[in-house]
Chain A
Amino acid sequence: MKFRELYLDTTYVMPFFYLDIDVKGFSRSVYKEVIKSLERIHFSEISIIEAKAKSLKIRVSRKRSGVNEKFNEGLSAISTDEKVVIHGYRAMDDKKFNEFLPLGLGFFDAVILAQSCTVGNLLTEDSRLLHLKDIGVKIINWDTLLREMGIREK
């Protein structure tokens, strides 16, 4: 299956801030090919805040230098790349959020799921989200994405 657009959960936003993720079979080079093949990628402004919080902790706890600079470089690129759509919280999202919150989701999970409705899909590794059925959003993980796009792990 060919995806033209994809809504990314925070996990898949981390690599744009030079943070690798521990998803099985994930590599930056394969991810690059996936991103290249898409017309648009979407994610929530919340994911940027989550990435910032994580990068700050890495800077302090792992004593890594250059973390702030790399984060800013990533933020600058995602802000100017025409492929990227950053979602704020709109009235339509709020209606969906109110529908989704009673499903036992966390606060941010429900916001991100609500925002992904306009795109119709969501790439995530969150098991609670992956178990949801018949909610009008195709929720997939990395493994499913590669299979559906016909990409083999390198």
Chain B
Amino acid sequence: MSRYVVKVGKNGELYTPKKLRLLMGLEPGSEFVAEVKGEELILRKRKTIVNLLEEEAIAKVSEKEIKKERELLEKELLER
């Protein structure tokens, strides 16, 4: 794990060291999701749906399986 010191500007801007920007591919306009856990601040690169499609799938599902799943869920819901 790498550690960096990030300073806060007058208006709350976060100033990141160049090494960190290069490592994380930070560009003007990059967006992050900030998660606060006690005194920890975790910044995660915000993924868009387009980013999701750039990555490989982990499994394949058939149209038949999707249809079957729908029928099972409907059955469960309607027979309650």
Query: Interface on A for B, CB 8 Å cutoff?
Result: 10-11, 14-16, 18-23, 28-29, 31-32, 35-36, 41, 49-50, 53-54, 57-58, 62, 64, 66-67, 70, 73-74, 76-78, 80-81, 83-84, 106-109, 125-126
Contacts and interface: CB of A to CB of B under 8 A. Distances in A.
Contacts of B59: 18-20, 58, 62, 64, 67
Interface of B: 33, 46-63, 65-67, 69-74, 77-78
A22 B49 contact: no
A70 B68 CA distance: 23
Nearest to A29: B53
Given A14-B66, A16-B53, 18 more contacts: A20-B59, A21-B60, A23-B63, A28-B53, A28-B54, A35-B53, A49-B73, A50-B69, A58-B58, A58-B61, A77-B47, A77-B49, A77-B52, A81-B48, A83-B48, A106-B74, A108-B70, A126-B67
Minimum-distance CB pairs A-B, first 5: A20-B57, A32-B53, A77-B47, A20-B60, A22-B62
Nearest to A126: B67
A106 B78 CA distance: 11
Nearest to A41: B49
A11 B65 CA distance: 10
A16 B57 CA distance: 9
B47 A21 contact: no
Contact of A36 (B46, B50, B65): B50
Contacts of B77: 107
B66 A18 contact: no
Contact of B47 (A36, A73, A125): A73
A36 B53 CA distance: 10
A29 B23 CA distance: 26
A54 B3 CA distance: 39
Contacts of B49: 16, 35, 41, 77-78, 81, 83-84
